[in-house]
Amino acid sequence: MQTEKITALYARFSHDENTLGDSNSVANQKKLLVEYADSHGFTNCRTYADDGYTGVNFERPDFKRLMNDIENGLVGTVIVKDLSRLGRNYLMVGQYTEMVFPSYGVRFIAINDNVDSAEGSNELMPFSNLMNEWYSRDISKKIKASVNQRGRSGKRLTTKPIYGYKRDPENKDNWIIDEYAADVVRKVFKLYLDGYGVTAISEILRDEKIPKPNMYLEYYKHEENEIREYQYEWGGTTITSFIRRREYCGDTVNFRTRRLSYKNKKIIINPPEEQLIFENTHPAIIDRETFEKAQEIYNSRHRKHSSPDRSNVFSGYLFCLDCKARLHIHRNKRPKKVKVSFECTSYRKRIKHNPCFYHTITFLELNAYVTEQLIRLFYLANYDMTALKAMADSSCSKAETTALKNVREELESAQNRIAEINKYIQGLFEAKVRGEIDSELFGNLSKTYTDEKKSLNSRIAELLTAELHLKEENKKVHRFYSALAKHGDFHELTHELMRDLINRIEIGAAAINPETKQKTRRIDIYYVGVGLLRFD
């Protein structure tokens, strides 16, 4: 009987085990352990408990505290309700009970499994550990199947509303808008679309004393708590997560992440094709057009600015006409003024795999040309929309419509072929049962059809992605006309105007006309949704 060292009473409960009732709750385990210790003369008892932790993972706070006390020679006996409370990984449980505990002179008792290391080894203990792990694996499969069914039915899988929303008091499964937080989300999107980067947005929110999400949700609502400066320290990662969240335009996104296995809880982000999106499931904070604009900016990696200025209005949009590399800004500081120009990156950095010759364009020259083109674009938009639509249609619509038609035709053909293969395989199976063909012939033919079906399924996945991309491109055409109507007329080149109308600008090298001695160059402006348009 241990009288000096600690008698450790360890309890563990996982929320996955709720189906077992209250018998395994931490409170009931503690009661059982205390009664056992008292009735068997154990003294100096100390309780260690991990509530809500899986038995597969041994990285539990109180279990680690227990092991620390064991390693420091403070513990003489460890008592648990049963082996599954120590853990459900049979290799790890065996390691602790047969190697770690004995090496520190610790007696181990599992009450319900009749295990007591002081009475010698229990031959059934390894089987009990293995059964406990099988139970954990079975529970994991059932939970995964339940979550999969729920997610595919369109029900939301997240456990609590994201920042900007709160639970509906009348229905806990519904989200309603939290106006204070929603205004912050709208502010983030507006700043991002105005050309500010995530770091600059973080600084603006901090300077305006807006509490960051976890402070607002868990701390800031309690007015009696002291206000601390770190409440306002927003991070760029948080801003990026706002911008990428489809939930803000009213959609539910299921299966965004997954875990490697029931033993390894590492979270893996699923690729887009494995995620399920259900549109318009709750009130939107951000309209869909604004959200899509933000995604375009994010995906194109346009450079953002902490204080947008006119010379940077082209940043991220400029490309070399010859080698397609980006053009970077260059400021030549002179005694009285700064001359701003743009240079080809592949020449500037001497990129060997993409060589290019020296050419540059000044901000003044580029600004004058783009301004002139936009004046003519808005003139047609306001006074001759028929002519403008004719130009836009000839540039992209016919090509995109043809491409979408071709994709859909190939998709239908592949799906029909899979239906035929399924019938052929069924026919082969019936022929084999009737004895019309032998097993070897059935196996060869079946493999041929199965391989073809696998190849077709892979191609169908590619076609579905291509179809989605082309549909998104067709939506951009309507956005181009919406942007023209939104701005009404052209007054000056701004970040907002560039974002709404222009996708990229390709700039060629300057050439000197031998007769007029004037400098000329080709500049191609590609507009959002419609592609290259020229108004020369």
Place of tokens 């241990």: 2
Alpha-carbon gap, residue 430 to 433, rounded angstroms: 5
221: buried, middle or exposed (CB in 10 Å: 19+, 13-18, 0-12)? exposed
Whether the model pTM is above 0.85: no
The encoded tokens of residue 39 equal: 């009735």
Closest by CA position to 529, among listed 391, 410, 432, 430: 391
Q: Tell me how far CA of residue 237 lies from CA of 163, 254, 301, in angstroms.
A: 14, 21, 15
pLDDT on residue 401: 61
Q: What is the DSSP letter of 226?
A: P
What Cα–Cα distance (Å) separates residue 24 from each residue in 19, 85, 104, 328, 424? 10, 9, 28, 64, 54
Give the pLDDT confidence score for residue 501 in this predicted structure: 87
Res 405: pLDDT: 75
Helices 363-383 and 385-392: crossing angle in degrees, nearest 10, is 120
- DSSP structural state of residue 262: S
- Residue 110: phi and psi, rounded to 5, are -115, 105
Superfamily classification of domain 165-300: Putative Large Serine Recombinase; Chain B, Domain 2 (3.90.1750.20)
Residue in 422, 406, 399 with CA at minimum distance from that of residue 463: 406
Burial-class residue 55 by CB neighbours within 10 Å (0-12, 13-18, 19+).
buried
The Cα–Cα gap between 510 and 357 comes to 11
Calpha distance 89→263 (Å, rounded): 8
| Packing angle of the helix pair 439-487, 288-300 (nearest 10 deg) | 110
The candidate with the shortest Cα–Cα distance to 195, out of 344, 316, 287, is 316
Domain ranges (residues) in the chain: 6-150, 165-300
pLDDT truncated to tens, each residue of the chain (536 aa)? 445 799 999 998 886 655 444 456 888 889 889 999 998 889 999 999 998 888 878 889 999 999 999 999 999 999 998 888 888 777 788 788 888 898 899 999 988 888 888 876 655 555 555 555 555 555 555 556 666 666 676 677 776 888 889 888 888 888 889 998 999 999 999 888 877 888 889 889 988 888 888 777 655 544 545 555 567 888 888 888 898 888 898 888 877 766 655 455 566 677 776 777 788 888 999 988 888 888 877 876 544 444 444 557 887 788 888 888 888 887 776 656 667 888 887 765 555 555 677 778 888 899 999 999 999 999 898 888 888 888 887 765 555 566 777 888 888 888 888 888 888 888 888 888 788 888 888 888 888 888 888 888 888 888 887 777 666 666 667 778 888 888 888 888 888 888 888 888 999 888 887 777 787 889 999 888 788 888 87
CA angle 86, 91, 95 (to 5 degrees): 70
Q: Which of these CATH numbers, 3.40.50.1390, 3.30.70.270, 3.40.50.1260, 3.40.1160.10, describes 6-150?
A: 3.40.50.1390
Can you tell me which residue has the tokens 């509906």? 168
Look at residue 267 in the predicted model and tell me its pLDDT. Answer: 67
Q: How far apart are CA 460 and CA 513, in angstroms?
A: 53
Token pair listed for 460: 């169908």
In the three-class reduction of DSSP (H, G, I as helix; E, B as strand; rest coil), residue 145 is classed as helix
Contact 9, 34 (CB under 8 A): yes
Query: Residue length, the chain?
Result: 536
Residues 6+ apart with CB under 8 A from 452: 417, 421
Among residues 276, 224, 228, 219, the alpha carbon closest in space to that of 252 is found at 276
Contacts of 426 (CB under 8 A, 6+ apart): none
Contacts 24+ apart (CB under 8 A), 115-122: 115/83
Q: How far apart are CA 517 and CA 502, in angstroms?
A: 32
* 90-to-61, 100, 441 alpha-carbon distances in Å: 20, 14, 46
pLDDT the model gives residue 2: 45
Question: Starting from the edge strand earliest in sequence, which strands make up the sheet with 75-80, in order?
Answer: 45-51, 6-13, 75-80, 107-110, 115-116
- Strand-pairing partners, residue 268, are 258
Q: How far apart (Å, rounded) are the C-alpha atoms in residues 269 and 258?
A: 6
Backbone angles phi, psi at 106, to 5 degrees: -100, 130
Structure tokens, 162: 């994201």
- Tell me how far apart the alpha carbons of residues 333 and 167 are, in angstroms, rounded to a whole number: 56
Contact 2, 76 (CB under 8 A): yes
Residue listed under structure tokens 């009450």? 111
| Collapsed DSSP state (helix, strand, coil) of residue 46 | strand
Which own/partner contact pairs does 378-381 have at CB distance under 8 Å and 24+ positions apart?
Answer: 378/484, 378/487, 378/489, 378/490, 380/535, 381/484, 381/485
How confident is the model at residue 24, as a pLDDT? 67
Position 337 scores a pLDDT of: 62
If phi > 0 it is left, if psi is from -120 to 50 it is alpha, else beta; for residue 250 that is left
